[in-house]
A and B are shown apart, each in its own frame.
Chain A
Amino acid sequence: MASSLLDDEILPGNPPGPHQAEYRWTLNFGPQHPATHTTLRLVLELDGERIVNATPHIGYLHSGFEKLGEHLTFNQYVTIVDRKNYISPPYNEIAWHGTVEKLLGIELTPRCKYIRTIIGELSRISDHLLCVGAAALDLGAFTAFLYLFNQRELIYDVYEEMSGYRFHPGYTRVGGVLQDFTPRVLERINRVLASLPAALRDVEKLLMRNKIFLDRTRGIGTLSRDQALALCVTGPLARASGVTYDLRKDEPYLAYPELNFEVPYATEGDCYARFQVRFEEILQSLKILRQATANLPNGPVNVPIADKFPLPDKTTVYNSMEGLIQHFELIMPNRGPDTPIDEVYYAVESPNGELGYYLVADGTQTAWRVRTRPPSFIHFATFPHLIRNHMIADVVAVLGSLNIIAAELDR
């Protein structure tokens, strides 16, 4: 069943006949190559320029992130999850601390839910801007890349204002966030909201009806609905193939149930459909951001310190006994509240697909086992099936549409 579904048979090539194998040659693509954007290697078996077989070799960036999770506390590990998908770090943080909060049974405050939704959607926009922009760059459209990257800078400005870090904000904490949004953060977000639509209109004109871009992406790397399900694919990749599942709608979390947005999908399943879905998702994220910033609830951002998990702010520590005790209990390595001895799986809709954590807790502040469900890893596994019988030049189109982030791929 599997082989017929994936259509892995090799089309008759040129020259045909029993000696066909003799005409094949092998090309090594990567691990350092401008079009991989990160460190991954492909060994391509070619018949002329046609790809007969592609074998990915990964692991060049393996840094033992899951092993490190067994030695860092729940709050410390947020610095590591940032470095998994470093194109949209806030979503990794939402997934990780969402898992911890599910384990501990913490219900966030309404303001925190909205703040996390806002930073999550900003990171989704940032991720899709990179994916579409970098793919356009690889396919020869340099201008679109610059227009989109210019907008990503504004999102980095938001990260910088809210947390002090541009690239890896490390903004969430168990039961809350590092610090509340200030009016300046909202002002920076409004700057993104004001400048992004015009840039998107420009890029849509430059790219989405561009003859060269259409010829390079339409009908390339097609994934059918059944193949998408069989290959465990999620996110924009699955939605471009007609699997309309979106965890924000179907298993709602944070403030998503209160916000009005749509889930774009396509049925063609080719590279162009994936770019279309991503492009449309940027517009939907903008819609979410407008609603969330307009309706941002007032009130506390962290759960009460009586819940024993959030670190109290400095004013509370210096001016109240409870705050001082709580700070001490959380900071001292041999103190801290007990956690359940149990395990939990929690997943969110990250820009790339379902990002889940399987967390096994042993009763301490450190996880026993942190298993990441990395969307890039699962999506890259589809690459040999997508690229078979296409040309060498299509490698960059398909790679660009999958949006492989090697740090998340190798962890």
Chain B
Amino acid sequence: MNPTTAHPSPPTATASDPRLSRARALLEPVLGPTLKTSSFRDNLRIFVEPDQLLPALAALRDRGGFHLVELGGTDYLHYPKPSGSGKRFEVHYVLLNRDTTDRLILKVGVDPDNPSLPSATSLWPGADWLEREVFDMFGIRFDGHPDLRRILMPDQFTAFPLRKDYPLRGRGERHNFPRITRAES
């Protein structure tokens, strides 16, 4: 047994991270000089307000060559520490620059009283289904989305299953789901 081997952690992004200075140069005209950022391991996260989201994404796409690769939501209800934006919901946009292999994660806090965000489908049509899934699972509406319907859950479903106040085993929807018998069909 060899208990002494220490494993180096992967590098953590710091203030001197060149990716951060490149992102700062791109985002400064849109977001102003102060960027709210955080990092963990090699992930670099930038927090933006909902009304700054589309200008920030457009600047990163048009001048930085970034493209969207992933979009998803998280519910921080009763999370052990406050979420980075201080809001209950957050939506993350993972952007990738395929020339420099830079990855940036844009995070947007969403207010639980009126959960809505501007839709990124005008910038990347590929955001269509990803936003529909966030709407389906968390009930966050995307303004300007061409076809915001449920995607994985049935249309009759009323709850938002990935919210933290929704129980693992559901609320009996499965047992009370309307069924058509052979005689009725």
Contact = CB atoms under 8 A, between A and B. Distances in A.
Interface string A209-239: 0000000000000000000011111100000
Interface in A371-392: 371, 373, 377-378, 380-382, 385
Contact of A381 (B1, B96, B128, B154): B128
Interface residues of B, number: 50
Interface stretch (B27-35, B66-74, B175-183): B66-74
Contact of B124 (A62, A232, A303): A232
Contact of A2 (B67, B96, B125): B125
A232 B3 contact: no
A360 B152 contact: no
A58 B149 CA distance: 12
A89 interface: no
Interface string B123-154: 11111111001000100000000000011111
B9 interface: yes
Interface stretch (A137-145, A199-207, A336-344, A396-404): A336-344
A305 B101 CA distance: 34
A198 interface: no
Interface string B39-73: 01101000000000000000000000001111011
B122 A320 contact: no
B114 interface: no
Between A70, A345, A358, the greatest number of chain B beta carbons within 10 A of the residue's beta carbon is seen for: A345
Nearest to A323: B1
B3 A306 contact: yes
Interface stretch (A100-108, A114-122, A124-132): A100-108
B74 A59 contact: no
Between A243, A368, A382, the greatest number of chain B beta carbons within 10 A of the residue's beta carbon is seen for: A368
Contact of A377 (B40, B92, B129): B129
Contact of A340 (B40, B92, B124): B40
Q: Is the interface of B mostly helix, strand, loop or mixed?
A: loop
B1 A322 contact: yes
A376 to B, nearest CB: 11
Nearest to B101: A250
B41 A102 contact: yes
Contacts of A245: 96, 98
Interface of A: 1-2, 5-6, 58-59, 62, 64, 66-68, 70-71, 102-103, 105-107, 229-234, 243, 245, 250-251, 303-307, 316, 320, 322-323, 340-345, 347, 354, 356, 358, 360, 362-363, 368-369, 371, 373, 377-378, 380-382, 385, 410-411
Interface of B: 1-5, 7-10, 40-41, 43, 67-70, 72-75, 79-81, 92, 94, 96, 98, 101, 103, 105, 121-130, 133, 137, 150-154, 161-162, 168
9 contacts: A59-B152, A67-B162, A70-B168, A234-B69, A304-B3, A307-B5, A340-B40, A341-B81, A360-B74
